Structures are given as structure tokens and as C-alpha cells.
Amino acid sequence: MEETIPPKQAGNLQDYEAALKEFTWSSVDKEFDWSKGGAYNVAREAIDRHAQNWRKNKIALYSITATNEVRKYTFGELSELTGRFASGLEKLGAVKGDRIFVFLDRTSELYIAMIGITKMGGISGPLFSALGPEAVKDRALDSSARFFITSPYLYKRLEPVLDDLVDVEKFIIVGDNEGLGEKTVKFEEVIGSGDPNYQAVNMAPTDPYIIHYTSGSTGKPKGVLLGHKSMIQQWYTSRYVLDLREEDTYWCTADPGWVTGTSYGIFGPWFLGTTLISYEGRFDARTWYSIIQNYGVTVWYTAPTALRMLMRAGDDLVREFNFSKLRHVCSVGEPLNAEVVRWGMRVLDRRIHDTWWQTETGAQLICNYPCMAIKPGSMGRPIPGVIAAVVDENGVEVPPKKEGFLALRPGWPSMMLGIWRNTSRFKEYFRVPGWYIAGDQAYKDEDGYFWFLGRADDVIKTSGERLGPFEVESALIEHPAVAEAGVIGKPDELRGEIVKAFITLRPEHKPSEQLKEDISKFVKTRLAYYAYPREIEFVDSLPKTRSGKIMRRVLKAKELGQPLGDLSTLED
């Protein structure tokens, strides 16, 4: 019988099947001030309207520094600070539609800047603080960014490319700008020059509020534009997928350089007036558990990589902490292995809800919900208001359990407006008539649950069979010695391709030929005869993006001696 984990409680979404039949996007409009005549602007809806009601003195943000100091901000305080920043930007010459990049660590100034830019009608471009100078240059030149908000040490990192950043008029420095040149101005001076009562600019639903650069497997990163109308879907999914409520304290661990860190690390939860936590420091299992316990985190949104690293830190560590306030856990960024879901039940006594979406989709699309049974390893089912299917190359839906392309009917509210200055790339997503093609291979089961098999270009063809790498990786991490695994197809004269696995081991295990054999046998007993790794290489770490995705194309390129392509979003 198929493994399922029943719901513990229904949550905000009481009846998924009823919502599928009855829900309309227009029913969400009444949740926003613009439906009552206010300015149409995501920054106004995220901050200012709460500052005008009883939430004015509610904590909006606990900003935890890398040294574990905490800065607290109410909605009222953020409304004034972001108003001052928006107004200060205009005094520097910024106008509606300008691309304004935020190149900062996860400090409170990042959040103030992002909301302030959006208030004055700018398009914010959040960048990972781990990016190198060339990667930043590519993005700045592609978008013709006019302003940068950054810190002294990150500004110094850009020194090799400063002369190339021809469109940038001012660098706004969080901290001291002494000796950094005449193009710089202090963040506090911009804030000091601004009007705390600044009113958000009225925007059109199809005006972009953000540009997120996302890496393809080849070529330069592309600038995905999301529009102000994304707020409709971000509000809905924050309420019904993240299950957020008035009294919640919510922690999204994603960096705002990645879309989860803005759609669900800034805007979505703030549309609901939720208290957010941000943490500037790097991953550390004990620190993360301490944050959940000490701040009484009730809803936690994180990534499979982080969860696997917590598993690696050991079950004993979990027992030192009290997670009694933690009600709901969600995961995003790459598929959630069944073993991690089982660990969540066994060790945290919490269901972990996988969610699927992309930078280009702007918000969650296929998810697991508190009211629904979880099938470990499954992506879940589409959110109400969205039609998803698995189709062949002609756009024809394939039968249950048959592999095909994951496809969505275009037109959901948060769908990207376009790719910056690249219409041909945008059109590629809609090459199959009537569908948005995600680039993922999947199948759908008889109950309507979707199952991820791999990126279309990652699929392995071995001995005449097609195999998704995720399936093999999931089987591998069930082995007690394996911490993480990345799987590729390696060319082979006899079989077309063979499965090669790159494996990091748990601390108590050492590499050996015997262990390789043991791991291969272990997978053989779980998957089809052709699906086990015929080659295993033990590695210290796997190449991953900052958002936690294993970069299989980098593993493959290294294995085959090919160019590595764009590495700008790789972890340090």
C-alpha cells in the first residue's frame, strides 16, 4: 500500500476539493486597500496599510545579526523608514521604472531598501551577497541599473568592475563611505533627507516591482520581471499554503537574492501583517534550532538542503530544544526527498510540506496543504485557481503514471511579465500551444498528486530506459552512511548512459570500495535493475546554488571536461 501521512489538522484551507471547484482569483481583491481606492502598490499593501490600523505597533521584523544581536521594527516604524528611503531616492534623481540593485547581507537595511524602492515605483534587483564582481557586472549591465545599495566590504569587492558599471550613478552605502569615492552616499543620509509621510506611487498591475536574475544551464543569467499583481497569488498562498495567521511568528530561511526570499521572505507574509524573522548569519544547526525555540517560530519555510544538513547534525541535537510553538513546516527549492519527510515525522514530530514553483512563476503553484494527506516524495497538488498537467511535446495530456513535461495553463496572477530585454527567451516557455512549460519532467498519479522526475535536461537514458536523477538521489540518502547525493548520466558505449553518483558521507563514515559496493546494492534493492549507480565518487561537498539546489550540470561538466557555464549563483 502507498505510503501516506494523514493531516494533523485542517489549517486555513479547510477543504481542498471544495476550493478547487469554487475558488476565483477575484475573491482575493477585497483583502487589499487598492480595492477600496488606495494606491496599487505592493509596498503599500505590505507595510503602509498596517501602519494605519491597529497593527501600527505590531512587530513586523526581528532582524537577527550575524553576532546574534536583534533589531526590532514595528509596521509603523517601517512605514516611516521606507517612506524616508523612497523619498530620499527621488531626491537623488531616481524615477519610476529605474532598476535599483540591493547588494547586501540579510540586514534590516535590505528590507527597508526593498520596500522603499517599490514605494517610489522602482524595480528592485536583489542580489546574493555571495556574488563575485563579474556576476554583479553582468546583471548591472543587462538591466542598466542606475543605483546600488550596498555595504563597504561589498563595494570594495566590486572595485575591479566599477569602471565598467557605466549606468550606475550612485552607490548608497550602509555604513561608512569614507574613502569610497564621490559616487557614494551614506544610507543614513538618504533616509535623513526623506519624508516619513511619503505616499506610495500608484502602479499598474502589469508594472514590474522586481527583477530576479536566474541562471539557466547555459548562457548568461536572465532577468525575470514580476508584476505588482503578483500580490494576489502571494497573499493567497501565504494564507493557505504557508497557513499564516495573525498570531504567527514566521521564519523564511531563503536569501532575498532568490525569489523565495522576496515572495515569501518579504511581501507575501507582510500582506497578511505577519511578524517576520530574518537571520544574517550562515547555517549552523544549533543556531537555527535556537532561533526556532527562542523566538517561538510557529511557521517555518526552508529548503531540502538545509533539512538534510540538520539531519546530518544528528537527532540528539534536536532533543535539546523545545519546538512546542512550531505548527507548520514547508520546504522549497528542489524536490523534498521522502527520507527527509520521514525524518520530520520521526524526529520533529512535524509534517514537512513540499512546495513547487519557480522564479518565473512568482509564487507557489503545486503544493502540499495541512488539510491533505502527504505522499512522501510528491510535489502535492495544484493550488486552487491553477490548472497543471503532464503533457507530451504536442501539449497532449498523458495518462496517470506516464512521464512527460510539467505544464501549466498560463495566466495565474504572479506569472512573470517577461524576461528583461529578451522576448525570444520568454517565448520559449510557451512553445507548446496553450501551456507554460516548466522544463521539469514529472508524472501525475491516479489521485492527482504530481511527482518530480528531474529537469528535462537532467534525465538519464540508460539501457533504453529513462530515469530521473532525483529518484536515485532519494534512494541513496536513505542509506545510513549517505548525507547528500548528486546523480548524473555518464556516457557509456554499451548502455548509452550509466548512473554516476557523487556522494558526501555522514561524519561517522569513511570512504572505501566496500562502502561503494554496499551503497550500490542498497539502491538495487529499492529501484529498478538499471537505476543503481554503476560509478560512485565520494566528495567533500556538492556544487549547490545559494538557494540549495544541487547543480547537476556542474557535476556533469566537470566529469566530462566541458565548460562549466554560469557559476554566479554557486555557494562560496
Tell me the CB-side half-sphere exposure of residue 15, using CA atoms within 13 A. Answer: 6
Q: Check pLDDT > 80 for residue 464.
A: no
- CATH code of residue 465: 3.30.300.30
Give dist(CA 300, CA 479) in Å, integer. Answer: 27
Examine residue 342 and state whether it is found in any structural domain, yes or no. Answer: no
Examine residue 453 and state whether it is found in any structural domain, yes or no. Answer: no
Nearest residue to 274 (alpha-carbon basis) of 477, 95, 59: 59
- The pTM is what? 0.86
Query: CB burial class (10 A; 0-12, 13-18, 19+) of residue 349?
Result: exposed
In percent, the amount of the chain with pLDDT more than 90 equals: 79
Nearest residue to 51 (alpha-carbon basis) of 40, 62, 59, 39: 59
Nearest residue to 503 (alpha-carbon basis) of 472, 466, 458: 472
Examine residue 509 and state whether it is found in any structural domain, yes or no. Answer: yes
Q: Quote the mean pLDDT of the chain.
A: 93
Examine residue 1 and state whether it is found in any structural domain, yes or no. Answer: no
Q: Residue 39 has which C-alpha cell?
A: 494606491
Q: What is the pLDDT of residue 67?
A: 92
Handedness of CA 414, 420, 421, 423 (dihedral sign): negative
Look at 218-232, 388-402, 433-447 and tell me which has the smallest mean pLDDT. Answer: 218-232
Q: Check pLDDT > 90 for residue 272.
A: yes
Strand partners of residue 255: none
Strand order in the sheet with 70-74: 70-74, 59-64, 275-279, 249-252, 299-302, 328-331, 352-356, 366-367, 381-382
Examine residue 348 and state whether it is found in any structural domain, yes or no. Answer: no
**pLDDT per residue as tens digits for the range 89-111:** 999 999 999 999 999 999 999 99
Q: Residue 167 has which C-alpha cell?
A: 549606468
- Alpha-carbon Rg for the chain in angstroms: 23
**pLDDT per residue as tens digits for the range 502-543:** 999 999 999 999 999 999 989 887 776 678 899 999 999 999
Examine residue 313 and state whether it is found in any structural domain, yes or no. Answer: no
Spatial neighbors of 252 by CB under 8 A, at least 6 apart, are 260, 261, 264, 265, 269, 276, 301, 302
Block residue for cell numbers 510557451:
430
Examine residue 499 and state whether it is found in any structural domain, yes or no. Answer: yes
278: helix, coil or strand? Answer: strand
Look at 133-142, 254-263, 426-435 and tell me which has the smallest mean pLDDT. Answer: 133-142
Examine residue 291 and state whether it is found in any structural domain, yes or no. Answer: no
Q: If you average pLDDT over residues 39-64, what whole number do you get?
A: 98
**What is the pLDDT confidence band of residue 337, given thresholds at 50, 70 and 90?**
confident
Strand partners of residue 366: 356, 382
Handedness of CA 286, 292, 293, 299 (dihedral sign): negative
Q: What is the pLDDT of residue 133?
A: 87
Q: Domain containing 491: what range?
A: 458-560
Q: Check pLDDT > 90 for residue 426.
A: yes
Q: Check pLDDT > 80 for residue 260.
A: yes
The total domain count for the chain is: 1
State the alpha helices, DSSP H only, in 373-489.
423-428, 469-476
**pLDDT per residue as tens digits for the range 183-218:** 999 999 999 999 999 999 999 999 999 999 986 544
- 547 compared with 428, residue with greater pLDDT: 428
Q: What is the pLDDT of residue 217?
A: 47
Nearest residue to 42 (alpha-carbon basis) of 213, 194, 229: 229
